[in-house]
Amino acid sequence: MFRCAESGGGLLRLLSARPPSAVGWLAIAALAAMALGTSYPATAAVADSSSWRDAVLYFAIVDRFADGDPSNNLQVDIQAKGAFHGGDLKGLRDNLDEIAGLGATALWITPVVKQIPGFVTGAGFADWPYHGYWADDFTRLDRRFGSEADLKALVDACHARGIKVLLDVVYNHVGYGSQYLKNPRTKTWLRTDETGTCGSDDLTSCLLGLPDFKTERKDVDDYLMEAHLGLAKRVGLDGFRLDTVKHVAHEFWREHRKRSRAELGPDFFLVGEVWGGDASSLDPWFEQDEMDAGFDFSFQGSVLGFLLGRGRTVAFDRYLQSRDKVRRGHLLVPFLSSHDVTGALHQLDGDKARFRLAALLEFTSSGIPMIYYGEEVGRTGGEWPENRSDMPWGDRKIFPGAGKERDDSLRADYVRLASIRRSHAALTRGTYAGLIADKDLLVFARLDSLARDAVVVAVNRGGEAATATIALPVEWAGASGADDLWNRESLAASGDSLTLTLPALSARVVAAKRAER
């Protein structure tokens, strides 16, 4: 147990990097903060009308979520890890309660264009294009996922519930042996291993041996953009998740941004997958406004490292602070699990106490938190391809995951986290201010001076209880006390300070108690 006034060198270095400022703060609070050893920097929140800043994103592999139409189940084998499992667009639409009820406000689905008819065996088992990344024809949908009418019906149903839809699109490559290689007109569009035309750099190499589009050709770009943007327009999509961004040139993405705005409106949202992306490495794509947001690959490892005690708390505090460096007007998308990485719960050996803390850190951090289908009900997954296992539906007769165990108490915690995030602008739009980083205790605030909102988050990763005292943020002026929203406890402030006690492996998410709430 310790009080922050007694904390050590790590905190002092933290303070020296962030000189206290009275701007935006009650002088008395600033004095109290200095006396207590906590520091709140001036906030620089700006108005931003984009509701994507407040979004919670849910990502589903269409084939693995829910089978709403058994009549389109070709090559389905639920027992085979690399086969189609029968999930489709209708299954998603039929089970939107699951996603909307969680508090998600945006849905990302895997590609649904027609896939190659066969499979590959390079991984030692029959691996089919159930994931949607091996296109055979970008101009029509794969009947195993559904029709264009099914996609439009899903988009309409999502919109009726206030959920935006991002479709995953691939501009870099086609599937193995795709029909594009057989058509005399289109086979010259692609670099392949067979023709010895694959390059050796990011842009021209054949990723995993997949035929690579010559996106330096205008006719190729026009064809692909017409296909993807045309579909988006016809079905009313809200944006794209862009696959393999760093394997296509910046010139292409700039033209794509221009055309998506011209054809689909200024709000059409683009989230890019740049492998390994973080606030600084994504900047080349943000600098020229090629996309609105990018996946934050650094988040999972940093959070798990902190929770497993692999690094100093002060280093994790610095990491969270660094995420604010993202270029203004652009967003990071943090995640704990995805179809391309081993999920957090598996990496934690099923330790749900730490997993809850990881989810709490995700939902109290900046950006658009992404939930990978099923992790919210304890789907452990595993290493690829087990990280793409079926959505667990418990005793509900929804295939392919009927009968698979699910943890609805964990889901209830996600619902609470999404609700807390929704009700506090500081969590979605605020800046980060580290307050205490000492031993196993991290305390930080998210501050939005524009909305006059502040939320204090405390996480104790250690095996023993910890106590800390913080100065009350100026945004709490006039409050009648403080509420721990995570544990649903009322906390008593003492003068201008608040003492937080945290049991082992626990967290608090504290906001001002408002009489009107």
Which residues in this chain contact Ca ion in the complex, by CB under 5 A?
Answer: 67, 69, 72-73, 86, 88, 172, 212, 247
| Cα 104 off chain centre by | 11
DSSP 327: P
Q: For residues 210 and 271, which CB has a smaller minimum distance to Ca ion in the complex?
A: 210
Q: For residues 202 and 287, which CB has a smaller minimum distance to Ca ion in the complex?
A: 202
Q: Which of 424, 426, 271, 430 shows the shortest CA–CA distance to 335?
A: 271
- Smallest gap from Cβ 170 to Ca ion, in A, equals 10
Kindly state the helix (H) or strand (E) to which residue 491 belongs, with its residue range. strand 489-491
Q: For residues 172 and 178, which CB has a smaller minimum distance to Ca ion in the complex?
A: 172
DSSP 83: S
- Smallest gap from Cβ 71 to Ca ion, in A, equals 7
- Smallest gap from Cβ 166 to Ca ion, in A, equals 22
Bridge-based pairing of strands 239-242 and 164-169 is parallel
- Smallest gap from Cβ 373 to Ca ion, in A, equals 16
- Smallest gap from Cβ 212 to Ca ion, in A, equals 4
Provide the edge-to-edge strand list for the sheet that holds 431-438: 431-438, 441-448, 453-460, 506-512, 482-484, 489-491
Distances (CA, A) of 396 to 150, 406, 407: 23, 11, 13
- φ/ψ region of 378 (left if φ > 0, alpha if ψ in -120 to 50, else beta) reads left
- Smallest gap from Cβ 172 to Ca ion, in A, equals 5
Please, which residues have CB within 8 angstroms of residue 301's CB and are 6 or more apart in sequence?
Answer: none
The answer to whether residues 475 and 452 touch, using CB atoms and an 8 Å cutoff, is yes
Q: For residues 250 and 261, which CB has a smaller minimum distance to Ca ion in the complex?
A: 250
Q: Which of 173, 114, 116, 119 shows the shortest CA–CA distance to 138?
A: 114
Q: For residues 248 and 344, which CB has a smaller minimum distance to Ca ion in the complex?
A: 248
- Smallest gap from Cβ 147 to Ca ion, in A, equals 12
Q: For residues 247 and 421, which CB has a smaller minimum distance to Ca ion in the complex?
A: 247
C-alpha span between 191 and 193 (Å, rounded): 7
Q: For residues 146 and 367, which CB has a smaller minimum distance to Ca ion in the complex?
A: 146
Q: For residues 217 and 325, which CB has a smaller minimum distance to Ca ion in the complex?
A: 217
- Smallest gap from Cβ 141 to Ca ion, in A, equals 13
- Smallest gap from Cβ 247 to Ca ion, in A, equals 4
Tally of residues, the chain: 517
Q: For residues 25 and 252, which CB has a smaller minimum distance to Ca ion in the complex?
A: 252
Count CB-CB contacts under 10 A for residue 386.
13
Which burial class, exposed, middle or buried, applies to 25 when counting CB atoms under 10 A from its CB (0-12, 13-18, 19+)? Answer: buried
Q: Which of 311, 254, 290 shows the shortest CA–CA distance to 439?
A: 311
